[in-house]
Structure 1
Amino acid sequence: MIVDAILKRILKDGSLTIINHAGLRRVYGEAPIPDHGTGPVPGPATIRITDPRFTRKFVSGPELAFGEAYMDGTLVVEEGSLYDVLGMMIHNLHRYSRASRFFKAHWALNRGLRWIYQHNPVHRAERNVAHHYDLSGELYRQFLDADQQYSCAYWPPGVADLEAAQEAKKRHIAAKLLLREGQTVLDIGCGWGGLALLMAREHGVRVTGITLSKEQLGVAQQRARDQGLEDLVEFRLQDYRRVTETFDRIVSVGMFEHVGVNHYAAFFDRTRALLKPDGVFLLHTIGRAEQPGGTNAWLRKYIFPGGYTPALSELAGAVERSDWILSDLEVLRVHYAETIRHWRERFAAHRDHVVNTLYDERFYRMWDFYLTGCEVVFRFDRQVVFQAQLTRELGAVPITRDYITDDQRTAEATARRGGPHWGTPVMRETG
C-alpha cells in the first residue's frame, strides 16, 4: 500500500489509527508527542476513510486529498478530534518530512510553481479578495470579536479574552506608528475598519482606509457614520497601486499575504512613494520562520487563492531593494495560534446556524478544516507573524524601543478613563 509506506516513514510520534474503505486498520506512531510548550499536545485519534479513490488522490496531492476528504465527509474522525489528527500530522511533518522523498518532491514542485499561483494583477487581486472576504458578513460575526478583527491578536501577560487581545493588538500597532493628532494615515487592507476607527478615535489622526472587498467597505463606512468619525475616516474601494496622495503614516495588517512574491517590489516601491520622507510604515503579516516555500495546495484552492506567507529572507530582501530602512522587527510566536483557537471554538459553537441558515455542512467542514489546520501550524510548525516597522530616514523613530510600551500603556489608561474621543457621537433612533 503506497499511502501506508509513506505514512510509516513520517508518522513516528503520537498515535493515529487509519481505517480504509475496506475496513483495513493501520496504526501509526511509536513514541509520545513531546510537549512543544506552545499549547495542547495532540492526543490519540482514529479516522475512517470511505473513499476507495483516496490512495490515488493522496499520491497526486496529499494536502488536497486530506482536506477534500474531510470536506466531503469521506474522512471521518471516529476517535479524538480534528485538532488531534492535524496536530499530529503537522508535528511529524515538521520533524520527519526530510526522510520522505515523496513529500520533499511534492513541496519542491509546489514551490517551483508559486510564481504562477501568485500572479496577482489588479483584476485578479480583486477576484481573490472577493472569494474570501465577500462571504456573508454574518459568517464572520459568528467567530470574530465584536470589532471584527480578522488578524492575529496580541496576548500580553494576563490577557485571556479575545476582545481584550484584539484591543491590545490595535494599540500595539498604533504605538509603533508614533501617531500624533492631525497626521494622515493610509490603512492598506482596512478590513471592517476597526483599526482605522481606533486610530482616529484615540489619536485624532485622519485615516484613509482602502479595501478590495465590497462587503467590508459597506460595513466600515456604516461604522464610521455610527461613531461620528466621518470627518476623520474615509473608506474606499481601491487598490494600493491606484492611491495617489502621500501620508504621514502607513499601516497594513493581514494584507501582505495576498500580494504575492511576484509583486513585492511593486508593493514596497509604491508604499515608499506614498509615505512622506519623515514617515513610518508598519507592516503586520504572517510569515514563515524557515526558508521560502509554497502555499498549501488545499488552502490555496479553497480559502486564499493567490496567497503566500513570506520567509524573512524574502521580506527583508524586498525591503532592502526598495531602499527602506527596517527600523524595528518583532516576531509574534504562538499569538496567532491562540487567536485562532478562540475563533475555532466560537465557530464550532455556531455550527447549527452556519449549516442550516448561512451555508451547508460541506462549507462548515471546509472552514473547520481551515481554522483547525491554521491553528496547528502556528503551534507546531514554523508559521509566525512579523511586525516590520519601516522608515525612509534613520531619525524617523526614537533609537530605543521604550516608546512602544509607553505609548501603548498610555493609550490603554486613557481609554479606561473614557477619552480622548475625536468626532461627535451620532444619536440614532432604533426600532
Structure 2
Amino acid sequence: MLTHRFFDKVVRRGDLEIAYADGRCGRYGDGHGERVKIRLTDRATERKLLLNPKLAFGEAYMDGRLVIEAGDLEALLVIAIDNMGHLENHGVFQWLDLAERGLRKLVSHNPVQRSRRNVHHHYDLSRGLYDLFLEADRQYSCGYYATAASTLEQAQLDKKLHIAAKLKLDRPGLRILDIGCGWGGLALYLAEATGAEVLGITLSTEQLRMARERAKARGLERSVRFELIDYRHLEGRFDRIVSVGMFEHVGPAHYRAFFDKIAALLTPGGVALLHSIGSTHSPTATNPWLRKYIFPGGYTPSLSEVLPAVERSGLWTADIEVLRLHYAETLRDWHARFMANWDQAAALYDERFCRMWEFYLVGCELSFRRMGQMVFQLQMARDIEALPITRDYMVDWERRHRDDAQPRKATDERTEAAE
C-alpha cells in the first residue's frame, strides 16, 4: 500500500500506529517516546496526506477525518516535527518545498486592501472567543515570563513593562504611536504609566470598537486615540513608536517601506521598538495550513531579512533581544484556557472550529520549543545619541515600576460577545 510505504519511509523516530480506512494497521518509528495511535477515516484523506501533508495533516484533524485514539495532539505533533527532515527529503516533497519557498514573497505580498482582508479573517472574530483564552487586558502576543511562577496575567503585564523600559519614557507628554494596537491594552498602559499622548492604529474594526470603549471607560479619550488606518497612510511625527505582533503581517516585499515609514514618522531624537515573531533559520515559507486557516498573508521573518531593510532606512539598530521560550509558555497558557472553555467556543462556532484552534495553539507552541521560532525585540533610533550607551536605564525603569505593576482584575472592560 502506497500510504504505508510513505509513512514507513518518513516516520523514523517516535512510536506511531495508524489504522487505515480499509482496516489495515501499520506501526512506524523507532518505538521511543509516547505511543500515539491515529485512525484515518477514508481513502481520500490518505491520498491528500500523500500529495500535500503539511496542509492535509491539519485539515484532516480539524475535519475529524484523522482521529487520535491513543496519546494526544501534542504527542502526535511532536512525532511529526521530529520527522520533518525525512519528509522534506522525500522525493516529490523536495520540489513542493522548493515551490513554497519560491512563492513566499508572492503569498505574503500585502498591499493595503489585502492587509485589511487578512486582518478581518483573524482579528474580527467574536469578542467572546478571545475572552475564553486571553487575560483581561487582551494581550494577544508573547508574554514575558520573568519568573517560573509567572501567571499569564503577570507575564503580559511584565511584557508591557519590558517594552516601556526600552522606549525610554523619560518625560511626560511624549507623543507615542502604537502600530497594530490590538484591543488597546499597551496604548492605555503607556498613557496611564507615563502621561503620554498615544495614538493606536489598527485595521480591525472589532478591535477598534473595543479599544475606544476601553479608553472611554478609563477616562482616557483625550490622551489615547484609536484610528482605523494603515501605517502607510499615516502622517505626522512621534517621539516614540512601538509595534507588537503586527510585523508578521507586513510581508518581506514591504519591509523597506515599513522601516522607511518608521524613520519618516520619528522625531530626530525619537526611539522605536519592534516586537515580532522571528525565525532562527534562513528565510522559508509559512506553513501552508497556518497561512490558509489562521493567518492569511502571515510570514515569520529571519533577522537576515529584517536588518538590511533597517540599514537602508537610515535607522540605528540600538538593541536586539531574542526571547526564546516566552511565546511557548504563553501559548501553553492560552491552550490550557481554551481547552477548559471548549464548550463555550463550540457554542460560538462549532466543533470543527475548536479542533482548528486547538491545532493552531498546540502547533505554534511546539514551533517555539522545537522548530527554531522565537520573538525578537528590535530597538531603533534616528540619532546615534538618542539613547544612553549602556542598557542600565532599561533595568532601572523595570525595577522602579515592577512593585506597582499588578494585573488588572478580570472584571474590567469585559463585555458580552458581539456575536
- TM above 0.5, yes or no, is yes
- SS of aligned partner of 1:190: coil
Corresponding residue to 2:333 among 339, 342, 367: 342
User: Could you tell me how far 1:338 is from its partner in structure 2?
Assistant: 0.7
1:61-140 equivalent positions in 2, closer than 5 A: 61-93=52-84, 96-97=86-87, 99-140=89-130
User: Could you tell me how far 1:98 is from its partner in structure 2?
Assistant: 5.6
User: Could you tell me how far 1:97 is from its partner in structure 2?
Assistant: 4.8
Q: Distance in 2 between matches of 1:387 and 1:396?
A: 18
1:333-389, Cα deviation, whole Å (9 max, x unpaired) = 11111100111111111111111x201111111111111111111111111111111
Q: Distance in 1 between matches of 2:384 and 2:108?
A: 33
The one-letter amino acid paired with 2:29 is G
1:118-140, Cα deviation, whole Å (9 max, x unpaired) = 12111110011000000001100
1:396 has 2:392 as partner: no
User: Could you tell me how far 1:214 is from its partner in structure 2?
Assistant: 0.5
User: Could you tell me how far 1:58 is from its partner in structure 2?
Assistant: 1.9
User: Could you tell me how far 1:167 is from its partner in structure 2?
Assistant: 0.4
- SS of aligned partner of 1:53: helix
Q: Distance in 2 between matches of 1:214 and 1:56?
A: 40
* Corresponding residue of 1:39: none
The one-letter amino acid paired with 2:341 is H
Choose 402-411 or 23-32, whichever is displaced more: 23-32
- The unaligned stretches of length 5 or more in structure 2 are 414-419
Q: 1:165 to 1:330 in 2, by over 3 A?
A: same
* Corresponding residue of 2:269: 278
* Corresponding residue of 1:176: 166
Q: Distance in 2 between matches of 1:52 and 1:224?
A: 54
The Cα RMSD (Å) is 1.8
- SS of aligned partner of 1:111: helix
Q: Distance in 2 between matches of 1:207 and 1:49?
A: 52
Q: Distance in 2 between matches of 1:92 and 1:381?
A: 12
1:242-271, Cα deviation, whole Å (9 max, x unpaired) = 110110000000000000111111111111
Q: 1:5 to 1:409 in 2, by over 3 A?
A: farther
1:61-106, Cα deviation, whole Å (9 max, x unpaired) = 111111111111000011111011012211332x545643444322
1:352 has 2:338 as partner: no
User: Could you tell me how far 1:299 is from its partner in structure 2?
Assistant: 0.7
1:131-178, Cα deviation, whole Å (9 max, x unpaired) = 000000110000001110000001112443100000010100010000
- SS of aligned partner of 1:278: strand
Decide whether the 8 Å contact of 1:279 with 1:396 is kept in 2.
yes
Decide whether the 8 Å contact of 1:46 with 1:78 is kept in 2.
yes
The one-letter amino acid paired with 2:359 is F
User: Could you tell me how far 1:31 is from its partner in structure 2?
Assistant: 5.5
Decide whether the 8 Å contact of 1:289 with 1:384 is kept in 2.
yes
User: Could you tell me how far 1:393 is from its partner in structure 2?
Assistant: 1.6
Q: Distance in 2 between matches of 1:324 and 1:384?
A: 23
Decide whether the 8 Å contact of 1:9 with 1:99 is kept in 2.
no
Decide whether the 8 Å contact of 1:151 with 1:253 is kept in 2.
yes
The one-letter amino acid paired with 2:345 is V
User: Could you tell me how far 1:315 is from its partner in structure 2?
Assistant: 1.0
Q: 1:102 to 1:4 in 2, by over 3 A?
A: farther
Q: 1:2 to 1:116 in 2, by over 3 A?
A: farther
* Corresponding residue of 2:417: none
Corresponding residue to 2:140 among 141, 150, 155: 150
1:360-399 equivalent positions in 2, closer than 5 A: 360-399=350-389
- SS of aligned partner of 2:219: coil
Q: Distance in 2 between matches of 1:311 and 1:104?
A: 21
1:381-410, Cα deviation, whole Å (9 max, x unpaired) = 111111111111221111112221221121
Q: Distance in 2 between matches of 1:158 and 1:325?
A: 34
- The runs of at least 4 aligned residues of structure 1 exceeding 6 Å deviation read none
- SS of aligned partner of 1:55: helix
Q: Distance in 2 between matches of 1:8 and 1:221?
A: 55
Q: Distance in 1 between matches of 2:389 and 2:7?
A: 51
Corresponding residue to 2:223 among 218, 228, 232: 232
1:206-226, Cα deviation, whole Å (9 max, x unpaired) = 110000001001111011111
Decide whether the 8 Å contact of 2:87 with 2:93 is kept in 1.
yes
Q: 1:233 to 1:48 in 2, by over 3 A?
A: same
Identity within the alignment, %:
53
Q: Distance in 1 between matches of 2:198 and 2:76?
A: 44
Decide whether the 8 Å contact of 1:132 with 1:304 is kept in 2.
yes
Q: Distance in 2 between matches of 1:102 and 1:84?
A: 27
* Corresponding residue of 1:40: none
Provide the aligned length of Structure 1 versus Structure 2: 408
The one-letter amino acid paired with 1:383 is Q
1:253 has 2:244 as partner: yes
User: Could you tell me how far 1:239 is from its partner in structure 2?
Assistant: 0.5
